[in-house]
Amino acid sequence: MRLAFDARVRPRSSFARVLALFEEAARAVELPWEEWRGGPCAAEVLWSVRQAEAPLPGAGGGPPRQVVTIYDVNPLLPDGRPAWQRWRRARRFRRRAGAALADAWRVVTSSEDARGRIEAAFPAAAGRCAVVPLYPEARFTPDGPPSTLAEPGYLLFLGALRRHKNAAGLVRAYARLPAALRRAHPLLLAGRAHRARRRLARLLAALGLAGQVRLLDEVPEEELPGLYRGAAAFAFPSLAEGFGLPPLEAMACGTPVVASDRTSLPEVLGGAAELVDPLDPAALAVALERVLADPAQAEARRQAGLARAAAFGPAATGRALRALLEDPSR
C-alpha cells in the first residue's frame, strides 16, 4: 500500500521527532512513503502521528484510509490528583479519541501495555490496534562529549514536569539520600515546567533542597545526547507512560536507569533498569542509592541498558510498520 505521513506537525511540534522516527523506519525496510501537507491525498493510507487525531476529520473510511496514533490513555489514569480534578481532561480526551476512532482504519500505539489500555477504554479500537514501537535515534550513543549545561555526575530527570511524571516524588526520594551522596550528585530536572515550577520550588524549600536541585526548563534537541552522557544515573519515576522513550535514550547513551514499575516501562526497559514503585519514596531512594553509590551496580546497569536499547531500532520498527499495513486480517 502507498503510505503518506501527515507532515503538518513540522517544524514546531513535539510530534516532529516521532514523525522522523517513523519515516526512518519506513526507509529501513524500503517501504514507499511520501509526506502530505493538506489538500488531496493520492496515497492509499494517510497516517497522523498526532495524539488521537485523524488527518482528515469526518472523512470516515476514505479514501484514503486513515491511521490514527494513540500513544497512551494517560488522561484517564490517576496522576496524584482527586478524580474530580481530572474529569474535564478525561472527558475531552474521550471525545477527541472517540472522534478519531470513528475515522480510523487502523490505530497505532507504541507498547502492548498501551494497546491493552486503549482497547479497554475504547472497545471500538479492538482488532484495529497494533504496536509499532519507538526507538532511540542513532545520535543517542555513549560516544561523544557530555553536555556543557551542567558539570557531569548529576542525577538526571528529563520530561515535561506534569503531575503524572512524578517529579515531586523523585524530589522526596532524593531528600532521603545521604547528604554526601546528594553533594556528589545534584539533581537536575530538565523539561518544560508548565505550572509546576512554583509547586516544585515550595517543595524544595520545605525539604531544604533549594541549592541541591536545578530546574533546566526545556533542553535544546542537540543537547539531549550529551545531557544523558553526563548523568551518573537517569531517574524516571513516572506514574503513567505509553512507551517511555527518555529512559531508553538514556540507556543508549550508557547511563544507568532507575524507573517506575508502572504501565509500559517494565515492558520497554525489561530487566535492564532498576524498577521501583514510584509512589514509595523510600524504595525509590534505596534504588537510587544502589546505583549512585555502588560502581559495580552502576556498571552492570549501564551494560544491561546498552544491550536493551540495541534491541530497538528503525529496522524493527519498520518491520512492525510493514506488518501493520500488510496484515490481511485488519
C-alpha cell at 316: 524493527
Q: Residue 330: what pLDDT?
A: 52
Lowest mean pLDDT among 93-107, 148-162, 231-245, 316-330: 316-330
Q: Residue 328: what pLDDT?
A: 56
Q: Residue 84: what pLDDT?
A: 80
Q: Residue 192: what pLDDT?
A: 86
Respond yes or no on whether the N-terminal peptide bond of residue 82 is cis (omega within 30° of 0): no
Q: Residue 310 above 60 pLDDT?
A: yes
> Of 140, 63, 67, nearest to 109 (Cα)?
67
Average pLDDT, the chain: 94
* Calpha distance 267→257 (Å, rounded): 14
Residue that is written with C-alpha cell 524549600 in the block? 205
Q: Residue 59: what pLDDT?
A: 74
> Of 80, 231, 219, 225, nearest to 162 (Cα)?
80
Lowest mean pLDDT among 51-65, 115-129, 246-260: 51-65
pTM: 0.95
Q: Residue 315 above 60 pLDDT?
A: yes
* Calpha distance 163→225 (Å, rounded): 25
Q: Residue 49: what pLDDT?
A: 97
Respond yes or no on whether the N-terminal peptide bond of residue 11 is cis (omega within 30° of 0): yes
Radius of gyration of the chain (CA): 20
- What is the amino acid identity at position 234? F
Q: Which CATH number fits domain 154-310: 1.10.150.120, 3.40.50.2000, 3.40.50.1100, 3.30.1300.10?
A: 3.40.50.2000
Q: Residue 79: what pLDDT?
A: 76
C-alpha cell at 243: 512507551
Using CA of residue 133, residue 136, residue 137, residue 138, what is the dihedral sign?
A: negative
Chain segment 3-28, per-residue pLDDT in tens: 999 999 987 778 999 999 999 999 99
Phi, psi dihedrals of residue 128, rounded to the nearest 5°:
-115, 0
* Calpha distance 213→286 (Å, rounded): 19
Q: Residue 14: what pLDDT?
A: 84
What percent of the chain is predicted at pLDDT more than 90? 84
Quick one: pLDDT band at residue 329, thresholds 50, 70, 90?
low
Lowest mean pLDDT among 115-124, 177-186, 217-226: 217-226
Cβ 105 vs Cβ 62: under 8 Å: yes
What percent of the chain is predicted at pLDDT more than 70? 98
Residue ranges covered by each domain of the chain? 3-135+313-326, 154-310
Question: Going by C-beta distance under 8 Å and a sequence separation of 6 or more, which residues neighbour residue 177?
Answer: 285, 288, 289, 292
Quick one: pLDDT band at residue 85, thresholds 50, 70, 90?
confident
Cβ 284 vs Cβ 277: under 8 Å: yes
Q: Residue 197: what pLDDT?
A: 84
Chain segment 258-308, per-residue pLDDT in tens: 999 999 999 999 999 999 999 999 999 999 999 999 999 999 999 999 999
Please state the rounded mean pLDDT for residues 41-62.
89
